[in-house]
């Protein structure tokens, strides 16, 4: 896939791609493609790991508080969780459409 990139696999790096800083400078676009595909590239200086180039990961879980702060939703009026809908028991010969019209008004 990345035929013009020389990549070394090593057990010490848990199977991640590994490259030197000078090789990274020569072929940055290809290493960025590797990172974009979800893999990490360990960058070495003098043979020692120096940095990791990899995909961005979501660091924070989006909560209702984030959505309220961003103005995307209104704050809930109640703090208690909503229960499930009550089970409706209808006669066997009932017309569901008529019941819905009656409930909706």
pLDDT score for 82: 75
pLDDT score for 38: 83
pLDDT score for 12: 42
Residue 75 or 8, more confident:
75
Phi, psi (5° rounding) for residue 90?
Answer: -115, 145
pLDDT score for 85: 78
What is the distance of C-alpha 24 from the center of its chain? 27
The model's pLDDT over 20-79, given as tens digits with 9 standing for 90+, comes to 999 999 999 999 998 888 888 999 999 888 898 888 765 567 788 878 888 888 988 878
Cα 100 from Cα 104, distance rounded (Å): 6
Cα 9 from Cα 3, distance rounded (Å): 15
pLDDT score for 42: 92
């Amino acid at each position: 896939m990345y035929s013009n990139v020389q990549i070394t696999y090593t057990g010490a790096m848990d199977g991640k791609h590994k490259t030197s800083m000078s090789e990274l400078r020569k072929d940055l676009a290809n290493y960025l493609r590797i990172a974009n595909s979800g893999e990490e590239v360990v960058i070495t200086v003098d043979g020692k790991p120096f940095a990791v180039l990899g995909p961005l990961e979501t660091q924070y879980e989006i909560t209702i508080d984030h959505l309220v702060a961003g103005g995307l939703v209104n704050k809930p009026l109640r703090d208690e969780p909503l229960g499930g809908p009550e089970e409706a028991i209808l006669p066997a010969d009932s017309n569901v459409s008529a019941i819905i019209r009656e409930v909706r008004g």
